[in-house]
Each structure stands twice: as structure tokens, then as C-alpha cells.
């Protein structure tokens, strides 16, 4: 998939003037002031910004876990007012998002139960998802028997097997070691290639954002606004060594870094 075809792809996820404020005893506290951006079909978009800017709040609004105060979030043109069926979310805390009483295989299976799939397809999805994340053979293990990186793979496999059109990830690789992090980033790119999913990732890692994205959405100010949307044109095939070595990578990296520093 080249960047040009991506730019022409239809909009999958559309955020229009989204605002969110929390009601507290001392009145309404605005967290997100006004966000407008689009994510096209098959794109990977990274949302970056200084910590505490409301990135997680934004994800909760996008996945329908929290209500939106004003404005809209649309998936395929349809307003999101509850968890949409074509969306999956990978949480930052893998230890808390997996069921420790279920095996790896059953964790992946649980969301599929209500989809009423033909048995053969269900089994194939589970097998395929576990194979895609490199967990074939670990089906009968329990999450807590696995390392952190492996647990996050289980969470990703669960999302893949669900076959969402949009895969949303909240700082998915924040608490794994650097080597695992690179592997999981490449896994993320592979998933996009293999399943054609649209992926939205919140991250605080600028390198990660540039490496993964077709589009980096930089948030700034408090309450949050979109400071800048940066297009990244590395195309679909990327490599941890060569992509990170090209001069454009360093330029983009500094650009994003500068924006975040100004925003913080």
C-alpha cells in the first residue's frame, strides 16, 4: 500500500469539533476543547501530546466508553454513542485487561462468542490471530505465565480475532522493554498489511509515532486542541533500521518533538 492510495482512501473515522468536560463538584472541567481530524481507511494514525493532555480521554470517547460533551465522532459516517461493533481497543495495562482465569485461547475466544460465527471460522480466526502475533503453541497457557510483551500480544490477538475495522490502542507498548517494543511495532504494521485495519495509536513515544504513522496528530494546550497534523510518507513497508535512518525520519522526529515541547 502506498501513501498516495492511502490519501485517497475514504474516511473511516471522523472527529468533528469533539469536546469533553468532566462534571465535578466545583463545576465543569474541560479536558478536550475542540478536536477535528480524520483517519482514512487503512491508515495508521498516532495521537501524541504532552502527558495529561487527555489522550486517554479522547480514546474513551472514540471507543464509546465515555460520552462526548459536544461535537461528534463518526465511524463510517455514523455517530459513535456507545462501543461500536467495528472497533476494538487494546489497553495499556495488559495485566489488567486479560482475564487471569482464562487461558490465552479462551481470552481470545471470549469476544467472539456473541458474534454467532460459523464454528470453523471462529476457530480459524482464533488460530490465525494467535499465529499472527507469534503465540501459536501458547493456547493453553495462562496470561500470568507469560512475560509482559507476550501478554500484550495476547491482547492484540484478541483484538485481531475480533476483526475490527478500526483498532484503537492506548499506549500499547509503554510498559514493555525496548526490544519487545520494536517487535510489537512491526507486528502492528504487519496487522495493517494482513488485515487492512485502520489503526489509531495513542503514544508518548515520538519515535514510535513517526515510525508507525501515516499521520501524526499532535495535541496541545489545555484543554486539548489539535496543534498540528503531520503526514508521514514512508509507505506501508518500514524497517526498524533503515526507516529510522533516513533523514526525513530525523526531521519529522524533531518537528513533532518541537510541537510537543511548545504544547507542554
Secondary structure letter of residue 163 according to DSSP: -
Closer of 9 and 102 to other proteins (Cβ): 102
Nearer to other proteins among residue 44 and residue 62 (C-beta) = 62
N-to-C CA span, the chain: 35
The whole-angstrom separation of Cα 142 and Cα 125 is: 19
- Which residues lie near other proteins (CB under 8 A)? 63-65, 83, 85, 87-89, 91, 93, 96-97, 99-103, 110-111, 113-114, 140-142, 144-145, 158, 162
Query: What's the closest the beta carbon of residue 22 comes to other proteins, in angstroms?
Result: 16
Strand order in the sheet with 44-48: 78-79, 70-75, 11-24, 27-40, 224-231, 215-220, 44-48, 198-202, 166-170, 87-90
**At closest approach, how far in Å is the CB of 93 from other proteins?**
6
For residue 227, CA distances in Å to 13, 119, 128, 255, 261 come to 19, 47, 39, 12, 11
Cβ-based nearer residue to other proteins, 58 or 218 = 58
Q: By three-state DSSP, how is residue 249 classified?
A: helix
Q: Which is nearer to other proteins, 142 or 257 (CB)?
A: 142
Query: Smallest gap, in angstroms, from Cβ of residue 244 to other proteins?
Result: 32
CB of 23 to other proteins, least distance (A): 19
Q: Which residues contact residue 167 at a Cβ distance below 8 angstroms, ignoring those fewer than 6 apart?
A: 87, 88, 90, 159, 160, 191, 197, 198, 199, 200
Residue linked to cell 458474534 = 115
Which residue number, 125 or 158, has a Cβ lying nearer to other proteins?
158
Least CB distance to other proteins at residue 142 (A): 6
Smaller CB separation from other proteins, 65 or 237 = 65
Q: How far is the CB of 79 from other proteins (least distance, A)?
A: 17
User: In whole angstroms, what separates CA 107 from the centre of its chain?
Assistant: 19
Amino acid at each position: 500500500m502506498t501513501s498516495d492510495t492511502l490519501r485517497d482512501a475514504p474516511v473511516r473515522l471522523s472527529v468533528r469539533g469533539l469536546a469533553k468536560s468532566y462534571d465535578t463538584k466545583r463545576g465543569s472541567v474541560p479536558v478536550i476543547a475542540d478536536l477535528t481530524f480524520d483517519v482514512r481507511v487503512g491508515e495508521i494514525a498516532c495521537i501524541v501530546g504532552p502527558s495529561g493532555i487527555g489522550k486517554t480521554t479522547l480514546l474513551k470517547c472514540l471507543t464509546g466508553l465515555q460520552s462526548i460533551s459536544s461535537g461528534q465522532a463518526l465511524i463510517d459516517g455514523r455517530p459513535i454513542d456507545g462501543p461500536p461493533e467495528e472497533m476494538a481497543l487494546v489497553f495499556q495495562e495488559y495485566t489488567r485487561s486479560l482475564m487471569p482465569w482464562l487461558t490465552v485461547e479462551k481470552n481470545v475466544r471470549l469476544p467472539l462468542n456473541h458474534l454467532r460465527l460459523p464454528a470453523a471460522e471462529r476457530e480459524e480466526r482464533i488460530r490465525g490471530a494467535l499465529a499472527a502475533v507469534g503465540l501459536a503453541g501458547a493456547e493453553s497457557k495462562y496470561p500470568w505465565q507469560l512475560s509482559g510483551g507476550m501478554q500484550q500480544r495476547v491482547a492484540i490477538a484478541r483484538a485481531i480475532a475480533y476483526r475490527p475495522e478500526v483498532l484503537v490502542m492506548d499506549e500499547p507498548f509503554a510498559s514493555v522493554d525496548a526490544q519487545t517494543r520494536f517487535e510489537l511495532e512491526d507486528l502492528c504494521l504487519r496487522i495493517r498489511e494482513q488485515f487492512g485495519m485502520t489503526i489509531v495509536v495513542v503514544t508518548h513515544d515520538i519515535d514510535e509515532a513517526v515510525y508507525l504513522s501515516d499521520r501524526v496528530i499532535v495535541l496541545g494546550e489545555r484543554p486539548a486542541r489539535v496543534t498540528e497534523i503531520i503526514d508521514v510518507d514512508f509507505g506501508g513497508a518500514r524497517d526498524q533500521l533503515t526507516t529510522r535512518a533516513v533523514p526525513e525520519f530525523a526531521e519529522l522526529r524533531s518537528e513533532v518533538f518541537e510541537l510537543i515541547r511548545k504544547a507542554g
